[in-house]
Chain A
Amino acid sequence: MTSRMLRVSAIEALSPLVSRFRFEDPEGALLPLFSGGAHVVVEMPDAGVLRRNAYSLISDPMDGSGYEIAVRREDGGRGGSKFLHTQVAEGDLMRISAPVNLFSLDLRAKKHVMIAGGIGITPFLAQLKQLARLQMPFELHYAARSRAEAAGLALLPASPQVHVHISEEGNRMDLGAILGSQPLGTHVYTCGPEGLIEAVAETGARFGWPRTALHSEVFMAPPPGAPFEVTLATSGKVVTVGAHQSLLEALEAAQVEVQWMCRGGACGRCETGVKSCHGTIEHHDHWLSDDEHARQTKIMPCVSRFKGETLVLDL
């Protein structure tokens, strides 16, 4: 993963729980441009633990003067978002990876329909700017529980193509109405909780949408779970994975080098062979097929865990 040290040039609260962080090159150099939907991985040295979390870029993809992310504070989470909210100040230097896009627009689309749930608005903020620049037809639907929680409101342009659905105000998003009346050649992008993505997929299937016209990105942080141990085949070393640690993080803490990119079970880069498995791998990734999950011969250490007696990795 290529990365660079950037300076935190601005921190701004967008809502009680969500803040925007802007990063710029310390010498003012331009940063590589990116495409809407791209994310960066932010490194956080947090009291002896090196956290690496992926965040969608929300700034203009065609503006290299800085990168911006919006982070929701999850106090019950693994600590990354809490670190950003409580330990990071303007002027700090942080290591930020090069942008990677696993949720890009399908530029063949005649029209782009974006559906965001909660903090899932983030990748669309950059895509909106890209679509405006490319002068492509689009509409965006943003669903949130309450206006106070809808941090994206501050960042969305006032435009007839932007529709805000606040369930507390009785204005719930009606997927049937959205998907039922789009022109042929439309592509739909959904980002938010798994339930929203499933609902869009179901509604799309009901209306006969081609599956390849429906795109989604789950906001995936490594899920916590019971601690477990893995054994490394080459060294015989045993690595213990803590309750709030991912297997990838535990391997990194043990100085075992594993290639990675998205750290969210989507890109496939950290795929690791399993030599033997006495127990059950809890697969949480979107990379391996159902068959591969069932065979238990591969694991994605960025998100998946293990329950059982022994798991020997091909490392």
Chain B
Amino acid sequence: MTIQFHDETFRDDYTFHNSPEGIRRFPFPFDADSYMYSVNLEPHAGGKAGSPFEKRFDVDEHYVAEMRDRAITLTEDPLRCQSLPHMELAGWDFLELVMVSKSEDYPELFTLNRDGDRWHWINRPLGIEQRFTFLDATTLPCGPMEYITRQTQGDHALLDQRDGNLWMDAGMVTSQADWSLDFDIGMNFFEWHAPVPKAHEMGVFQRALKFLLNLQQGAPVRRLNWTMTVNPRLDTSPENYHKWGPEKRTVAADNVGAKQYLRVELQTLWRLPRSNAIAFPIRCYLCSLEDIVTVPKWGRRLHRVLRDLPNELAEYKGFAVNRPTIVDYLAAFDDGAPTSPGIFPD
């Protein structure tokens, strides 16, 4: 399998697009016709061939363009990448995890040669070759977490574990669904989840934290989260709300299928060996409504989910203003037929 990397943009002229294969492998997040929060964690131990769940760190046709977009965001706002001083070891752990996983899972794209602490990394899609000394940050052009996350799709948080809690003490966050690393850095698990409606009362976070504190090395887990984004924009940050917020008002009946995207996060959680920290990659996938409805099951189901979603959730996810337009559009693709269980196309 050779991946054809797209030359595309996630801002300004928005030339991002999914290939037909890209649409088929989109991680559609709803396994039933309705949605409510749940901890919904499952082992991240492979998945259907070709799906985004198959490899430890999925590399797809958007890889090169996403990394270019990340570099632009970082130039404009360096605080999107922060690591508190005690998190450098976790950064090395994460660098190792990504380099080992990618070189094993995509040997045609990535190569890692190790001779003790002397490492040699080749990233062919991005044209990078680097020799460095593991655990010696002076031998890399930047800190280990920044180095590897400039080459890894998705946002990444590194969570320190202490005092029976998890602390967001490092991260690379440039493709986020309206949250800010600069605001959340140093917060604990309950603090950074404070804005989420309903879930606290349901005890979701207590259960999730307890589960994560016991997360074991070599047994990563995953879950899907979702929201809605107008235009294929990765950087929907609070810092840049003035750039993307007003775009919500550009959605109308005649363009909603093309402009409105379902934004899905494939979140994985990994116990890191030397630091005992947890790595939390949040990988963003975008798919326009007009592409989603090319899969009949998804068109039917997305209509039902968005039509019946509680108002607080539509508000929290930021698309309440366009919900009627979206639901009207999707209604045309819902003939009322039953849908099959699971998230994959029929």
Residues of chain A having any CB pair with chain B under 8 Å: 1-2, 32-35, 37-38, 61-62, 98-101, 104, 106-108, 130, 133-134, 212, 261, 267-269
Contacts and interface: CB of A to CB of B under 8 A. Distances in A.
Interface stretch (B56-64, B66-74, B269-277, B310-318): B269-277
B219 A35 contact: no
B317 to A, nearest CB: 32
B214 interface: yes
A89 B237 CA distance: 60
Decide if the interface of chain A is mainly helix, strand, loop or mixed. loop
Nearest to A106: B162
Contact of A99 (B87, B210, B217): B217
Contacts of A108: 84-86
Choose among B84, B160, B213, B276 the residue with the greatest number of A CB atoms under 10 Å from its CB: B276
Choose among A1, A35, A62, A106 the residue with the greatest number of B CB atoms under 10 Å from its CB: A35
A38 to B, nearest CB: 8
A2 B43 CA distance: 12
Decide if the interface of chain B is mainly helix, strand, loop or mixed. loop
Nearest to B167: A108
A104 B161 contact: yes
B86 A33 contact: no
B218 interface: yes
A277 B216 CA distance: 33
A102 B89 CA distance: 18
Given A98-B217, A104-B162, A269-B214, A62 B86 contact: no
Contacts of A133: 135
A313 B67 CA distance: 53
B218 A34 contact: no
B218 A2 contact: yes
Contacts of B87: 107
A101 B276 contact: yes
A2 B219 CA distance: 8
Contacts of A32: 217-218, 273
Given A33-B274, A104-B162, A268 B210 contact: yes
16 contacts: A2-B219, A33-B273, A33-B274, A38-B276, A61-B273, A62-B274, A100-B216, A104-B162, A107-B86, A107-B87, A107-B160, A108-B84, A130-B274, A134-B89, A261-B214, A268-B213
Contact of B214 (A37, A62, A212, A267): A267
Contacts of B135: 133
Contact of B273 (A2, A35, A269): A35
Nearest to B210: A268
A35 B276 contact: yes
B76 interface: no
Contact of A212 (B163, B273, B276): B163
A61 B218 CA distance: 16
What 6 A-B pairs come out closest when comparing CB atoms? A107-B86, A33-B273, A35-B276, A104-B276, A108-B86, A101-B276
A48 to B, nearest CB: 29
Choose among A37, A62, A108, A261 the residue with the greatest number of B CB atoms under 10 Å from its CB: A108
A63 B274 CA distance: 11
Choose among A38, A107, A268 the residue with the greatest number of B CB atoms under 10 Å from its CB: A107
B134 to A, nearest CB: 10
Given A62-B274, A104-B276, A134-B89, A34 B162 contact: no
